[in-house]
Structure 1
Amino acid sequence: MKNVEETKRLFNNSTLFYTISTDMDGKYSYINEHYAREFSYIDSNLVGKPYHITMHTDDINTCIEVSTKCFENPTKLFPATIRKHDGKGGYVYTQWEYKAMFDDKKKPAGIFCLGYNITKFVGEELQLQKANEKNEKNSNTIKNIIFQQSHLVRAPLSNIIGLTSILDKTLLDSNTSNICDMILESSNQLDQIIRSIVTDARS
């Protein structure tokens, strides 16, 4: 308990970290000034109140599971990510480390927690995830374009070029022959454009 009391004093005026402790009945036995300010809209004095009134109900089981691990492994710290009410109908994300507390007779006395707000980090992670999903979607689109241009478009175009080239122009009048030449030239130009598009898409 001595180390816990020293930690409480050290972080009591922190503007970044939350420090709290709960007793064996699951009620706040201590909160630092930063935690008190951040969640004062829930209650002006949280000490003596149930720990779960500040959090998302789905995260209560996480607290129970992590606290159980703490008492099973008294020398270790265990992490937990907890959503807290933001006072606006939403939640802030907080990251914590839990440690079991014992009294002078080595009996369980509660849980000490050190935490901080990670809402901005979580938001950036979600944005990054969306960006990666968008990039993956774009990548698949590009792959489809490459396939379509390489196989679905160029195949009939190659046939047009081939058929135009093998026409027996001796049987054609000069005007029709000239049209065939223009078809062949335009087909070759289109083929080069498609090749260029495929090359750029692959690079």
Structure 2
Amino acid sequence: MHRYNQINNFLETSDFFYTIAIGMDGVYIYVSPNYDRNFSFGKGTLKGQDFSVTLHPQDIRICEEVGPMCFGHPNRLFPATLRKHDGKGGFVVTQWEMQAMLDEQGQPLGIFCIGYNITEFIDTREKLDQAETSLDEISFIQSHGVRKPLANIMGISKLLRVADDDAEREKLMNMLDTSANELDQVIKEISNKGEHD
């Protein structure tokens, strides 16, 4: 227990990290000031309350799975990504490492957790994934959609140079107009996709 107290003392004033300890009954036995600042929403401390009050209901299952792993391997840290209420009807995403707390006789006392907010990281990663998907779509359109009308334009321009009569030239000019319009549509589609993403 001494080393957890040292960690708590060290991180007592942290604005980035949260430290909590949850007893065997599922109740907070320690809550860092930063954790209370972010998740008690001005209602005092969370110490003495059930750990689930801050969690997205679906994430309680994650804690129920990680807890036994901590006691099965008490010298290891186990990661967990958990959503916590943000006080505005939504959730923030937090990343945790958890470890079993044992007394001097090796009996379980609870679970010690250290975590931090990764919401901005998750949001940025999702935006980058969306941008990458959009770039892949644009690349596909460019490589497939642009290629056909451009190849037609290049081929028609060569045929125009060797066309013998006006009727043949007229037919090629109409084909050139059609291919130019197709290319214009593809370029507009690419531009619109870039603007909307």
Question: Per the shorter chain, which TM-score range?
Answer: 0.7 to 0.9
Q: Name the CA distance, whole Å, in 2 between partners of 1:8 and 1:141.
A: 55
Rg: which structure is higher? Answer: 1
Secondary structure in structure 2 of the residue aligned to 1:41? coil
What is the TM-score normalised by the length of structure 2? 0.79
Secondary structure in structure 1 of the residue aligned to 2:109? strand
Name the residue aligned to 1:164. Answer: 163
Q: What are structure 1's unaligned runs of at least 5 residues? A: 168-178
Name the residue aligned to 1:141. Answer: 141
Contact 1:164 1:180 in 2 (8 A): no
Note the aligned Cα RMSD (angstroms).
2.9
Secondary structure in structure 2 of the residue aligned to 1:111? strand
Name the residue aligned to 2:61. Answer: 61
Q: Name the CA distance, whole Å, in 2 between partners of 1:7 and 1:126.
A: 33
Contact 2:28 2:48 in 1 (8 A): yes
Contact 2:27 2:47 in 1 (8 A): yes
Q: Give CA-to-partner distance per residue, 1:38-91, whole Å, 9 cap, x none.
A: 112274221111101101011111111111111111111011111000011111
Q: How much does 1:147 deviate?
A: 3.5
Q: How much does 1:153 deviate?
A: 5.8
Q: Name the CA distance, whole Å, in 1 between partners of 2:43 and 2:23.
A: 18
Name the residue aligned to 1:172. Answer: none
Q: How do residues 117-156 of structure 1 correspond to structure 2 at under 5 angstroms?
A: 117-149=117-149
Q: Name the CA distance, whole Å, in 1 between partners of 2:114 and 2:139.
A: 43
Secondary structure in structure 1 of the residue aligned to 2:163? helix
Q: Give CA-to-partner distance per residue, 1:20-50, whole Å, 9 cap, x none.
A: 0000011100001111111122742211111
Secondary structure in structure 2 of the residue aligned to 1:96? strand
Name the residue aligned to 2:109. Answer: 109
Amino acid at match of 1:61: R
